[in-house]
Amino acid sequence: MNGVAVGHKIQCKSEYTTLKNVLVVKPSFMRITEIINETQKHYENNNINIPLALQQHEAFVEVLEANGANVSELQAVSSLPEQVFTRDIGFTIHDELFVATMNEQVRKSEVNTVKAFLQENEISYQEGFPGSIEGGDVVVDGSTIWVGNSGRTSQVAIQELQKRLPAYTVEPLSLRQDILHLDCVFNIISEEVALVYPPAFTKDDLRKLEARFQLIHVTEEEQFYMGPNVLSIGDGKIVSLSQNKRLNRILSAHGFRVLSVDFSEIIKSGGSFRCCTLTLERS
């Protein structure tokens, strides 16, 4: 893993162009402490095998680096069991980086590590949202920014984001109560194609997505195993969970190159590949 150049360029206009710079945290202290989502409830009794989680995370990082991404690592902190999910603590929209306002007490201090990193690398950022907003709810689609109105991202924060981004259309999507973040049920994988878990959305919001994208539907089981939470890394390449075999076949049939990675230990805490990457720059 390399460092980021001082004053590094911040850029993310989509979810699928070439991934150039990204922030991760090793799952060194990952564990399910207080149940904050449905997936954790399911795995509460067998919890996280940390050596296996570390091995799987390392294999994922190797795939990113082998495909040209520069991967920087934030310091893992023993008191932050959810820290592996760096996507939530910040989000890049075009040339602006925003530090999130976390909703759950167990995660609030995570923003301190990312702010220290950004300051050290002279990367400017915005923060201080009213209510709460987390990066897993923010999906960039050119001049449209889709934002999940979830238990983690409030209406007041979405309105504030629109205020700060007058040149863009911030499009809220109401999520079913048990859904953690937007990227657990929706992910844009090319200019025309997106993955979606339809039951998570209202009829009106689903119609908005159908009008904009060719949608690949994921099943309930695939959603439980974080099927939509793939990571597009450019040139049609998608990092996807090896266990989601049906979905991976469909992606391949649509012309995507699927890079299968076993992330079975990480997903026990309710997140997968997109959740584990805070994008700083895409080409």
What is the domain partition of the chain in residue ranges?
19-282
User: What CATH number was assigned to the domain covering residues 19-282?
Assistant: 3.75.10.10
Q: What is the pLDDT of residue 46?
A: 62
Per residue in 195-253, pLDDT (tens digit) is 999 999 999 999 999 999 999 999 999 999 999 999 999 999 999 999 999 999 999 99
**Predicted confidence band of residue 4 (pLDDT cuts 50, 70, 90):** low
Nearest to 164 by CA among 130, 137, 189: 130
Percent pLDDT > 90 in the chain is 86
Q: What is the mean pLDDT of residues 122-134?
A: 96
The amino acid at residue 167 is A
Residues labelled catalytic: 181, 275
Nearest to 102 by CA among 24, 181, 41: 181
Which residues on adjacent β-strands are paired with residue 224? none
Name the average pLDDT for the chain: 92
Residues contacting residue 243 through CB under 8 Å, at least 6 positions apart: 225, 262, 264
Please state the rounded mean pLDDT for residues 148-156. 97
In one letter, which amino acid is 155?
Q
Token pair for residue 204?
A: 């009106």
Instruction: With a cut of 80, say whether residue 172 has pLDDT above it.
Output: yes
Summarize pLDDT for 173-193 with one digit per residue, the tens. Answer: 999 999 999 999 999 999 999
| β pairing state of 257-261 and 70-73 | unpaired
One-character DSSP codes across the chain = --PPPTT---BBS-SSS-EEEEEE---TT----S--SHHHHHHTTT---HHHHHHHHHHHHHHHHHTT-EEEEPPP-TT-TTTT-GGGGEEEEBTEEEE-B-SSGGGTTHHHHHHHHHHHTT---B---SS-B-GGGEEEETTEEEEEESSSS-HHHHHHHHHH-TTSEEEEEEB-TT---GGGTEEE-SSSEEEE-GGGB-HHHHHHHHHH-EEEEPPHHHHHTTTT--EEEETTEEEEETT-HHHHHHHHHTT-EEEEE--TTGGGGT--TTTT-EEEEE-
What pLDDT, in 10s, does the model give residues 7-45? 578 999 999 999 999 999 999 998 765 544 455 454 455
